[in-house]
Structure formats: structure tokens, C-alpha cells
Amino acid sequence: MPDFEQVKYYLLMGSVIFLSITIFFCLMRAALGPRFSDRIIAANIIGTKIILLIAVLSLIIGQSYLVDICLIYAVISFLSVVVLARSVLEKKELDSESESGAGGVQNS
């Protein structure tokens, strides 16, 4: 019967490999996505998977300080996606206003 620590190690390494592969596919979606919303969602998923990857690596090497890094990375990832989405929405609003004309401004 295999040792519990050995099974745990192989399971965690398998999850690291799986997360790495799925991060690569999300990176492809972020680069090739047909719409900008696909790219934002892919960037958010990449951030979440990297947080999971750091947490799993924390379990593998037995260092609990990496969990703190996960929390900091989660806050930074969330804020970056919010700022990116907000800037795109503002740009689309400016584009739609310029297409509609003067936007209701009258010359006196």
C-alpha cells in the first residue's frame, strides 16, 4: 500500500500540471479572443488559476507564507480586472457619444 505522503505529493503535482496546462489555454483565449469581454474573462481566470497554483505549491513545499502572497495576488488581480473593464467601458461611451454627433450641445 502506498504511503499517504507519496500519494499526496503525486496528487498535488498532478494538479500543478493540470493548472499549468489550463493557464496556457486561457492565455491563448486572452490573446485570440474574438471579443474584448472574452479577453477580460480569460485574464480573470488566469489570475484565479495562478492563485490556486501558488496555494498548491504552498502545500507541496510546506511554506505557509505563500498563502499571504495568494491573498495579495487576489486583491491585485481583482483590481486590475475592474480597472481594465472600467477603462474599456469609458472608451466605448466616448466612442458612442462621438458617433451620435455633438451630444446635444447647441451653439449659441
pLDDT in tens, 23-41: 999 999 999 988 888 888 9
CB 73 within 8 A of CB 47: yes
C-alpha 52/C-alpha 26 separation (Å) is: 14
pLDDT in the model for residue 88: 83
pLDDT digits 0-9 by tens, 47-82? 999 999 999 999 999 999 999 999 999 999 999 988
Over residues 85-108, mean pLDDT = 74
| pLDDT of the residue at 92 | 83
| Model pTM score | 0.78
Domain residue spans of the chain: 4-96
